[in-house]
Amino acid sequence: MTSEREGKGPSRPGPELPQSTTELVEHVPLPIYVFRTEESDFVLEGVSAEARRQNPGIVTLLGRPMKGIYKHQPQAIEDAERCVREGVEVVREMSVRRYDRTEATQQVRLTFVPLPPRHMIICMEDVATPAVAQLALVESEARYRSVVTSLPDAVILRGADGAVLACNDLAVRMLGAKAEG
């Protein structure tokens, strides 16, 4: 004769729950940043695998306060504070500058999500349209050409196969070659 506990089926072990908020977001296919709330700031506690894939240097910022990481983007700090204070999701689209760059390099949508009692996550999505990305590429190439052509030295760039990809006017004159296109 078998007996079952009233109201319950056979007991089975369930899936293991993540031990931390960082483990919870580890495999989300978007860049996710986990911040722990502290007295007057937020501290970067962890990042998802996708955030590390897109920006391997991000791990150097773990343990740093948000006010240092986002010092040039005060609106992001204000959104984080509002998110935690009001317990609401806050979404903002903005240009961001990665910590290792000198200018804004990405148009993103940041979604701030409170995780009571002591955490908040920021989900980052790239929202640049192909046209915006193409314009940024054209501008970057123009800056590059400007730098190369103004150098006082001959510059020749070769591909892996040895073919000349680009050179400045001084290199053309020094080699006695004719410039194409």
Q: What is the pLDDT of residues 96-151, one digit of tens each?
A: 766 555 555 677 889 999 988 888 999 988 887 676 667 777 887 888 778 777 88
Strands (E) across the chain are located at 32-37, 42-47, 90-96, 106-115, 119-126, 156-158, 164-167
The Cα–Cα gap between 27 and 176 comes to 56
With contact defined as beta carbons under 8 Å apart, do 26 and 48 qualify? Answer: yes
CATH architecture of 21-126: 2-Layer Sandwich (3.30)
Which amino acid does the sequence have at 125? E
What is the predicted pLDDT for the residue at 1? 38
What pTM does this model have? 0.59
- Give the start-to-end residue ranges of the domains of the chain: 21-126, 130-175
Nearest to 30 by CA among 15, 42, 17, 48: 48
The β-bridge relationship of strands 156-158 and 119-126 is unpaired
What pLDDT digit, counting tens, does each position of 35-47 carry?
999 888 999 999 9
